[in-house]
Every structure is written in structure tokens, then in C-alpha cells.
Structure 1
Amino acid sequence: MKKDIRCKEKILTNNAFAFKIKLVLSEVINMKLSIQKILQQAPYSFEGETDVSELVSFDNDIRQVGSVQVSGVASIQNKTITVNLSIKGVMVLPCARSLVDVDYPFEVDTIEVFSIDPFYTEEDESEIHPIKGEILDLTPFIKENVLLEIPFRVYADKEAIEKYALTAGDGWSVVEEDNVEKKIDPRLSKLQSLLTDDKNENPKE
């Protein structure tokens, strides 16, 4: 009987531990950090990944972007939380020359500052963001930094262009220069014929 009780206690303990781990992972994946946890454990380190695929609908240049790897450290001084963030990922952009897909790896290191002062209001061009409630949601700031990493233009390598570039479409096709038949303007065709006849009638002596 005692053995059964110990087994049940062990199962309950394991379940509680698994539930706790699940909560921590959920927090990291969603990039929503507990202010209370930061206050208790500062400097508070975290890492995980978050989905930023929504950015495809924000910017026409981004053809694809999935989850990004995020790591950071949150520290606190007075009523200000400073978060050092590192963001890594890959976005797919169009080649400026051929429009084929180009994988563009990016890595961002940034610092975001937040105020937990309930009376603080964000001013124009202020670099300190107010926090409402007990949760610090880093997702909007992660997305903003990813958008800022979009380059002015990217270029695919020659092999990718040859492999993926379009060679035909609705009403058009790409033709090699050697295969293009040179056509004479009909207005010049008759003139060329007259010149040929004149040469035949008046051969050089």
C-alpha cells in the first residue's frame, strides 16, 4: 500500500514538473515574460523561438519568413527594465534582377527599454516603452526589428537564376539571341531589291 502511495506521489510530482516546464516553454515561445519573474530573477535570461510569419502580409518584399530564434537578458534598475535581444532567422526575398527566391539570413542585436512605472506615459520619439499589466510582450518589438533588417535589394547567384528563373509566361517567352531571326523592314525590302537589280544591270568593269 505504501509503495502505491509513493508511486502516486511520484507521478503527481512528475506531472507538476512537466506542467511547470510547459508553462515556461509557452512563455518563452510566445515571448511574453512575467514582470514578477523578472523582478525576482533579474538578470533574467531566456531563449526560444517565436513565429513572425505574419510579416509576409505586412511587407510585399517578404515572400516567406517563419519562426525566428530569440535569446536575451532582462535586467531591472529602479522602475526600468532593459532587455538585450538577439534575433536570428531567414527570410525569403525576391532577386532584384530575376525575381527568383533568395534566402536571406539575418541576425539582429538590439536593446529595448521598458518602464514599469504606472504613471509613465510614452512621449514622441521616446525609446522607453510603457508596460501595461504584469506581462511584457516582446513579440511586437521582435517583428519591428525583423522588418528593419530587410535589405534594399538582394541578388540570386547565377545557378539559382538558371534553375528557377521564368523562361515563358502568358504571351511572352525568353528567346536566345542566336535563335532570333533578323527581319528586314518591309519598306526597306523593296529598296534592297532595286539596289540588287541595279548592281546586276551595271556590273563593275
Structure 2
Amino acid sequence: MKWYLSELLKYKNEPFEFSETLDLEQALLADFGDVILAATPMQVTGTARAENEDIIIHASVRGEIVTPSTRSAQPVHLPLDFEIDEVYIQSADHTDRYEIEDSVILVEDDVLDFKQVVMEYIFLQVPLQILAEGEAAAKMPSGEGWEVIAEDEFDAQQANQPIEKHTPMSGLADLFAQTSDDE
């Protein structure tokens, strides 16, 4: 899915339609192997159209990845179904044509590598917290002298504890009391 920007600019009246199945598993493992453990082939469909010497791409991506649970590192199957909307420009002067929330990319060397774009969007689909089946209801991990607690439980514990001052000199506060007791 590499296209020349100069070729895409010919699609002013009618959009360029694409539909491909991309096997990105090896590339995803190479780039994001700590977050993505496996991936099915991705079905990518969409259109590209030229507008004011820029290219606007709208694409849909469907597939599935396997990512580790953030609690136990067990594999979790995550179905993907997301949209990509991006604008590709050939001159930095064109950025003022678009809103700040639009995804605007400056194309260098006239080549648009949409396969790389799809891979980056797949990575962005991985949630910050994902749990394997049954982990949400399971007891949090613990060990000798430590345990994992929920954030709201931590906040409750902090609210019930007195506030201690931790300054570089706070350790010396009891020094004089100990020396006078020794005499």
C-alpha cells in the first residue's frame, strides 16, 4: 500500500478506491513486540481523493490482535474495527487549510506508505489497561510484604493516614530527644 502522491492527485473527480488484506503480523511484532503478540491479517478498505493539491484518505480497518493482559501478561484477543482519516500535503504551506484537530501529514519524496500508517493506528488501538477473561473479578496479585490494590482503595488509605512532612531535615527532629534521654 505504497502510493505516489503525484498519482493520487489525478483522482479529483472520482475517488481512488482500495480494498486490501494486509498481513502485518511480522512487521507489528518487530516494531511493537512488547505490546502486540500476534495479529490476524487486516482488511483495509477506503478511498483517497485529491482536493486542492492535497490527498484526503478515509479508511476502515478490521482484524484482531493479541496483546498481553496488563495484570498477568496472559494473552488477550482484541478485535479491531476502526477508521483512519488523514490529510496528506506536499507543502507545509498547506497546513493552514485544515483545523488543528485534523491529522495532517507532510509527504516527503512523493511516496505515501499507508501500510506504515495502518500499523501505527493498530498500535494506538491497544488500551492502557486490558484484562484477560475473569481477571477483573479476581483477587489482585500479592506476595510476601506487598500487594496490588485498586486506585480508589489507595486513595481511601491515603485519606485515613496523617500527613507526614518529609524534608531533608525531618530526620534530625528526633535527634535531640534521643541524646537527652541517653544522659
TM bucket (normalised to shorter chain) is: 0.5 to 0.7
Q: Residue 50 of structure 1 corresponds to which residue in structure 2?
A: 22
Local SS of the residue matching 1:58: helix
- Tell whether 2:5 aligns with 1:35: yes
Deviation sequence 1:57-106 (CA, Å, 0-9, x none): 33312111242111111111112111011111111122345433221101
Q: Residue 105 of structure 2 corresponds to which residue in structure 1?
A: 129
Q: Residue 69 of structure 2 corresponds to which residue in structure 1?
A: 95
Local SS of the residue matching 2:123: helix
Deviation sequence 1:100-157 (CA, Å, 0-9, x none): 322110111121111134x7598xx983222234432112211111111001233333
TM-score for both structures, normalised by structure 1? 0.52
- Tell whether 2:132 aligns with 1:150: no
- Compare relative contact order (CA 8 Å, sep 6+) and give the higher one, 1 or 2: 2
CA distance in 2, matches of 1:40, 1:65: 34
Q: Residue 110 of structure 1 corresponds to which residue in structure 2?
A: 84
Local SS of the residue matching 1:145: helix
Q: CA deviation at 1:51?
A: 2.8
Q: Residue 86 of structure 1 corresponds to which residue in structure 2?
A: 60
Q: Residue 63 of structure 1 corresponds to which residue in structure 2?
A: 37
* Identity among equivalent pairs (%): 25
Size of the alignment, in residue pairs?
A: 127
Local SS of the residue matching 2:120: helix
TM-score for both structures, normalised by structure 2? 0.58
Local SS of the residue matching 2:35: coil
CA distance in 1, matches of 2:45, 2:128: 26
CA distance in 2, matches of 1:133, 1:154: 39
Cα 1:61–1:134 change in 2 (3 A) is closer
What letter corresponds to residue 101 of structure 1 in structure 2? P
CA distance in 2, matches of 1:93, 1:133: 34
Unmatched runs of 5 consecutive residues or more in structure 2:
96-100, 135-183
Local SS of the residue matching 2:19: strand
**Are the counterparts in 2 of residues 121 and 130 from structure 1 also a CA contact under 8 Å?**
no
Cα 1:128–1:96 change in 2 (3 A) is closer
Cα 1:57–1:137 change in 2 (3 A) is closer
State the Cα RMSD in Å. 2.9
What letter corresponds to residue 117 of structure 2 in structure 1? F
Local SS of the residue matching 2:9: helix
